[in-house]
Every structure is written in structure tokens, then in C-alpha cells.
Amino acid sequence: MKKGIYKLSVDCGRSGDLEGVFIATDVQVKALIDSKIEVYFGEILGKHSEVYGAIEKKEVKLLTQDINAIEVVEKYNLSNGVNPFDYGFINFEIKGVNIEDITVGEVIDLLIKSSKK
């Protein structure tokens, strides 16, 4: 698992765009995309916008895996905008596991952990 700085760019049509820069591992990003979990952003683009959906590969770009850059972003809290791992989700279940009231990031970590068994 290698950490990286990623950029999220989601086109929501005429409602607007979601953008963010965040740190995650390559395994977390792959699991996010492969699981097709629908991230629930709520009314992030204004009242009644109700934005949700699975994150596609074309919407996430690896900016760098340079350890020095990652350390600077972490040290000075330079992540900004939308981080899909920080939001809730809809229409997703893990058989035999209660995943109510947790974030997408926590679900992804559970999926990664269960795949290692």
C-alpha cells in the first residue's frame, strides 16, 4: 500500500462540479472504485441538489506518491475540497456486518481488511 495525493473531479452536469485534493493509499482508491459504493454527498451543491453516486476511475487522478509532498500536505493540513472517504453512502451492504452510521472510508477499510483473510 502506497500513499498518494489524489485529485477528485466529478462533473455533476449543470448543477456544478465536485473537486478535492486528498491523501489515500492506492489500495483504498482501487477499492473505492471497484466496490462501486455510492457516496452520498447530500446537498453539497445547494438546496435540493441531492448528489450521490459511485466514483469512477476517470474521476480520480493520482497527482504524486512523492513522500516529501505527502508529508507537507499532512503536516500543514493542505487537503482541501471533497474527500469521498469522509462522506456517507447509500445502497451498499456487507453481508453479516452492520455498517450503519459509518463513512465510506471506514467501509472501504473493512472491505480491504476482509479481502486479506
Q: What is the sign of the dihedral through the CA atoms of 21, 70, 5 and 111?
A: negative
Helix ranges (H only) for 1-117 are 26-35, 67-75, 104-115
How confident is the model over 57-92, as pLDDT tens digits? 999 999 999 999 999 999 999 999 999 999 999 999
Q: Return the pLDDT at 116.
A: 80
Distances in Å between the alpha carbon of 11 and those of 26, 33, 113?
22, 16, 31
In the predicted model, what is the mean pLDDT of the chain?
Answer: 95
CB count within 10 Å of CB 95 equals 4
Please give the model's pTM, rounded to 2 decimal places. 0.94
How confident is the model over 4-20, as pLDDT tens digits? 999 999 999 989 999 99
